[in-house]
Amino acid sequence: MEEKISKALTLAAIASLFFRRGIFHPFIVQPFEILILLASIFGVISIIKNGIDEETKKELGYWGKWFLLFFVLMGIGFIYSLIFYKMDYQILVNLLKNYFILLCDFLTFFLILYHKNSVNFFKKSLVSFLGPLVFAPAVFFPVLILFVSITEGFGSLFLGFHTSRTDFGNFLIIPSSILIAYFFRSQNVFRKTAAWIGLVILIALVLWTGAGNAYLGIFLVSLFIFFLMIREKKNFLWVGKSFLLLFLAVVSAYLILPERAQNTPIFKMFPKLSYLANIKASDAHYEDFLKSGITPATFMPELGSYTPVKSIKNKDLLKMVSKNFHPEIDLSDRKYIWSQSILILAKNPLGLSPAYEYIIKIKVLPDSDTVGGSHNTFLQIGLSGGWISLILFFLFIYKIFKLLGDSKNDDWEWLAIAGASFGIFTTLFLDTRMLNPWVWVIISLAVAYSYTRGKSESLENKNP
């Protein structure tokens, strides 16, 4: 009974990942963390009462050593920063929050390993990621964003029930990968069509977020699956038709968006045109909102400030793009942040703890007072736990993909997990994702799937 409750709570935690707004402060406890803690309690009770099979016990013990080492290294980073840098109350609060989130992420890993042999566990886990489809009404009836705070920039950027549109965009890589995989693997026309429609909605939300790393992640997932399909099917006509339908899904996703949201991906890919959207918040569009008698629940700037709120007619915008077609990826701020982060890591080989960005300020631009994180997960891990933790993480990622490669088969679950893992992995180079639980969930599913469905050697032989 306790095992069933633990499994249900674990699946509920995954399903809750589309909601990441804090409940209690300053620790920002989320539904995911609460559900994982409850699932862990019931899981421990189940193990005490019913025991655990020897194979799972070895698997948990093996990966437990990895995570324990991560925690120890980050603890050493904390002691190092405590000795050589100033620590105030706020830094300690943020440090405790980060350790708490990491603990819940690691517990998730063990829970998924523990429940991996349950009937249809992987299918249920992947379906649990499809929560963002609840935002479909906002795509088709954009007036709804006036009543619920799920956008910013007067509806030009979508963030859902997250505090960051880039975080939400990154999360959407996983459900999008799941539906792409299901679309390609399913032989049932009705289910294939349903997956395609769901994919249109999810891609529309991704475009609306304006998150460049999400655009890149889903593009690379599509390429990954494209080459896999060619190798498997060796039928270029079938693969070509399927990807034409995928392309039509992207076009359809763009077309169903409200006009202001349609501007967002164009401004993202052609940043030199974004000046067209800058008008005073007190200008006509804001007055239109007030005349409607409804105060928008989106994030409102002070009157007189500048924000990208103006909607440009898409046909006019596309004409400008066609006349001056120069798409670009602006990494100028990233390059500056990365260079600073590398220098800081070189000077602090033991790391600075997971609260490093509060201990040493990393400027976004040379002449700016704005500070932030390293915008790279590998640098984030290095700055948190030192050089050894960075090497350990590279080995960890290598092992994940090695296990996935060994377990390759024709199941849609494998394709979904492999595609999502690849897509999320590519975004680790562009942003700090160590504390995002969905990263650890998909990694956990990759490991657990490999052990249950894989063709690799047993853990005992593979890890003596």
Q: Cβ(401)–Cβ(421) under 8 Å?
A: yes
Confidence band (pLDDT; 50, 70, 90) for 460?
Answer: very low
Q: Which two tokens stand for residue 457?
A: 């050697």
pLDDT of residue 286: 42
How far apart are the C-alpha atoms of 237 and 224, rounded to whole Å? 18
Going by C-alpha positions, the residue among 47, 38, 181 that lies closest to residue 122 is 181
Q: How confident is the model at residue 230 (pLDDT cuts 50, 70, 90)?
A: confident
* Separation between Cα atoms, residue 181 and residue 416, nearest integer Å: 5
Q: HSE-up of 366 (CA within 13 Å, CB side)?
A: 4
DSSP class of residue 161 equals B
Three-state SS sequence of 18-52: HECCCCECCCCECHHHHHHHHHHHHHHHHHHHHCC
Nearest to 100 by CA among 143, 71, 128, 129: 71
At residue 355 the predicted structure's pLDDT band, cuts being 50, 70 and 90, is confident
In this structure, the number of other CB atoms found within 10 A of the CB of residue 327 comes to 10
Report how far residue 203's alpha carbon sits from residue 263's, in angstroms, rounded to the nearest whole number: 15
Please state, rounded to an integer, the average pLDDT across all residues of the chain: 83
- The model's pTM: 0.87
Q: CA-CA distance, 312 to 316, in Å (whole number)?
A: 7
pLDDT digits (tens, 9 = 90+) for 151-171: 887 778 899 998 889 999 999
Of the candidates 70, 126, 123, the one whose C-alpha atom is nearest the C-alpha of residue 397 is 70
Note the pLDDT of residue 275: 59
DSSP state of 365: S
Flag whether 177 is in a domain.
yes
| Chain CA centroid to CA 369, Å | 28
Asked if residue 26 has a cis previous peptide bond (ω within 30° of 0), the answer is: yes
Amino acid identity, position 133: L
Provide the token pair at 220.
């690379």
- C-alpha 456/C-alpha 452 separation (Å) is 10
Residue 48 domain-assigned?
A: no
Question: Whose CA is closest to 132, among 166, 173, 184, 164?
Answer: 173
Please indicate, yes or no, if residue 188 is contained in any of the structural domains.
yes
Domain extent, residue 293, equals 134-329
- Mean pLDDT (whole number) for 289-303: 38
- Is residue 314 one of the residues assigned to a domain? yes
pLDDT for 47 beyond 50: yes
Residue bearing the bigger pLDDT, 410 or 131: 131
Asked whether residue 434 is assigned to any structural domain, the reply reads no
pLDDT value of residue 368: 62
Those residues whose C-beta lies under 8 Å from the C-beta of residue 230, and which sit 6 or more positions away, are 236, 239
Tokens read off for 130: 């499809």
Would you say residue 343 lies in a domain? no
| Segment 238-292, tens digit of pLDDT | 888 888 999 999 999 999 998 888 888 888 877 766 656 553 333 444 444 444 4
Are 268 and 212 in contact by the 8 Å Cβ rule? The answer is yes
Burial letters for 422-436: b for 16+ Cβ neighbours within 10 Å, e otherwise?
Answer: bbbbbbbbbbbbbbb
Residue 288 is predicted with a pLDDT of 44
Note the pLDDT tens digit of each residue in 167-210.
Answer: 999 999 999 999 999 999 988 999 999 999 999 999 999 999 98
For residue 416, being part of any structural domain is answered with: no
| Total domains in the fold of the chain | 1
Residue 150 lies in a domain: yes
Query: Of 310, 295, 309, 355, which is closest to residue 149 (Cα–Cα)?
Result: 295
What pLDDT is stored for residue 304 in this prediction?
A: 34
The mean-pLDDT minimum among 23-27, 103-107, 339-343, 407-411 falls in 23-27
Which of 393, 384, 388 has its CA nearest to residue 94? 384
